[in-house]
Amino acid sequence: MKKEHIDLTATKAKVARSKKHFDELASAIKTYLASQPYIIERITNDATGDVSDIVRVKKEIPKDWSNIVGDIVHNLRVALDYLVTSLVEANSNSISKSNCFPIDNSIEDYQRNSSKKLIGLSSGAIKFINDLKPYKGGEDVLWRLHKLDIQDKHARNLIVGAANRSVNLSLKMDFLGEQINFPTLSLKPADDLFPIADGVALFTFNKNTAGPHDFNDNSYTFDVKFSGDKIFNEREIMTTLKELILYVEKVLDDVSKL
């Protein structure tokens, strides 16, 4: 099969649409976080003396971001299906209803299901797709893309929200009459409290710790994340989407060399 026989026009159009929405979303997230949508309120528990930093949400994340993320994911998944149909046509065969890009939950499922989805492809094209290992435990980038697309279709929307990425502690102490400033200590919370809700305590200092130190310089770093299943562990959104886009682009670059 010669390189010029593979028509990737429709496939690349889907990827281009994903990239356009990705750039728009990246800009929107940057603007949103720069607007300081969260403020920290420090309160003291009168009964225990413990000090807690409470988050106050001034501006909610736009609800349409979930739709944008879903569109990015779906267009990438469809691009792979278009790739398969292009490979069928490049092999001078007619597209069948079963043709699509196979991605499965295990190598056993893949071996059982993939052949009917790749009917009409040349042996070289089939080997190319098989070598991608598009199943869980093989190439998990493809598997995540597939699962995200299913999640979005069946749960209506992927939940997009903010999470507490780190607690940045600026510790100070007096020593022999001089103030010592320690390097800022960034701690990743065990629970990033996704999605952040108004009134949630981000960090609590017990009275013995809070008493002798000034914590006024402490700060918090927030990320925008999305939920899928626990499979995705509430991953940071733009890193995940960029990984998916770059991988699909690499697949298209590689297939053009067949």
* pTM, two decimal places: 0.79
Q: Which long-range contacts (CB under 8 A, 24 or more apart) does 32-40 make?
A: 32/59, 32/61, 32/62, 32/224, 33/222, 33/224, 35/59, 37/61, 37/162, 38/162, 38/196, 38/220, 38/222, 40/202, 40/219, 40/220
What pLDDT was estimated at residue 208?
A: 65
In tens, the pLDDT along 196-255 reads: 788 888 777 776 654 444 555 567 777 777 665 444 454 577 888 999 999 999 999 999
Residues 174, 165: Cα–Cα separation, whole Å: 30
Mean pLDDT of 45-73: 86
Residues 151, 156: Cα–Cα separation, whole Å: 8
Mean pLDDT of 23-40: 88
What pLDDT was estimated at residue 178?
A: 64
Range name among 34-48, 62-76, 206-220, 236-250 with the lowest pLDDT average: 206-220
What pLDDT was estimated at residue 98?
A: 96
What pLDDT was estimated at residue 3?
A: 46
Mean pLDDT of 162-188: 57
Instruction: Supply 123's token pair.
Output: 């042996």
* The amino acid at 160: V
For the chain, the average pLDDT equals: 81
What pLDDT was estimated at residue 159?
A: 63
Q: Is the pLDDT of residue 160 over 90?
A: no
Using an 8 Å Cβ cutoff, are 66 and 159 in contact?
A: yes
Range name among 31-45, 74-88, 198-212, 243-257 with the lowest pLDDT average: 198-212
Residues 114, 133: Cα–Cα separation, whole Å: 11
